[in-house]
Amino acid sequence: MLEQLLRLIAEDGVSTCEDLARRVSVSQPLLEAMLEELARLGYLRAVASGCAGHCTGCSMGGCSVIGQGRVWILTDIGVRSVPQGAAGAGHTA
């Protein structure tokens, strides 16, 4: 199931938790738990939203335009774990 999730993430480029939960047929809380697991295993990394810490010297003040909510990115290990161009053609969990 995590392999399927990784493939979908790599295939979509950019996804929302809601989309992914629907496509893997799990609830959104379970999807979030799976993302956290993938992060623990080193396949994903949570990045801070907004520009926290970089506002010093910013001429226009705050710029946290992304709002709340985390953003997860595929790490190098995550990218390597999904064969290039093989999205959707991988194993069955």
Partner 1 sequence: MSTVVAPSLPGEAGLTVALAGQPNVGKSTLFNLLTGLEQHVGNWPGKTVEQKTGTYRSDGLVLHLVDLPGIYSLTVNSPEEVIARDYLLRVRPDVVVAVVNAASLERNLYLVAELIPLVARLVVAMNMMDVAADQGITVEPRVLAAALGVPVVPMSAARNQGVHELVETVARLARGEIPCRPSLPEIRQDHRQVLAQLRSLIAGSVPEPYPEEWAALKLLEGDAEITAKVSEHLPADVWQQVHRILMAHEDAVLSVAGGRYEWIGRMIRAAVTRPRAGQITLTERLDRWATHPVGGVALLAGILGLVFWLTFTVGRPLQALLDRAVVHTLGNWVSAWLSAAPTWVRGLVVDGIIGGAGMVLTFLPILAIFFAVLALLEDVGYMARAAYVMDRFMHLMGLHGKSFLPLFLGFGCNVPAVMGTRIIESRRARLLTILLAPLVPCAARMTVVVFFAPLFFGRAAPLVAWGLVGGSMVVLAVAGVFLGRWVLRGERAAFIMELPLYHQPNARTIGLQVWHNSAQFLKKAGTLILVMSVVIWALSTLPQGQIETSYLAAIGRALAPVGALMGLDWKMIVALLSSLVAKETSLVTLGVLFGAAGNPGGLGAALSTSLTPASALAFLVVQMLFIPCVATVAAMRQETGSWKWTAFGVGLLAALSFAGGVVAYQAARLF
Residues near partner 1 (CB under 8 A): 1-6, 9-18, 20, 25-27, 29-30, 32-35, 37, 40-41, 43-44, 47, 49-51, 54-55, 57-76, 79, 81, 84, 91-93
Min dist CB 91 to partner 1, Å, is 7
Using CB atoms within 10 A of its CB, is residue 5 exposed (0-12), middle (13-18) or buried (19+)?
buried
Closer CB to partner 1, residue 89 or residue 91? 91
Min dist CB 88 to partner 1, Å, is 14
Both tokens of residue 32? 């979030």
Closer CB to partner 1, residue 67 or residue 89? 67
Q: Count of residues for the chain?
A: 93
- Short-list 33, 34, 47, CA closest to 75: 47
Cα–Cα separations (whole angstroms), residue 77 to 58, 62, 64:
34, 34, 29
Min dist CB 89 to partner 1, Å, is 15
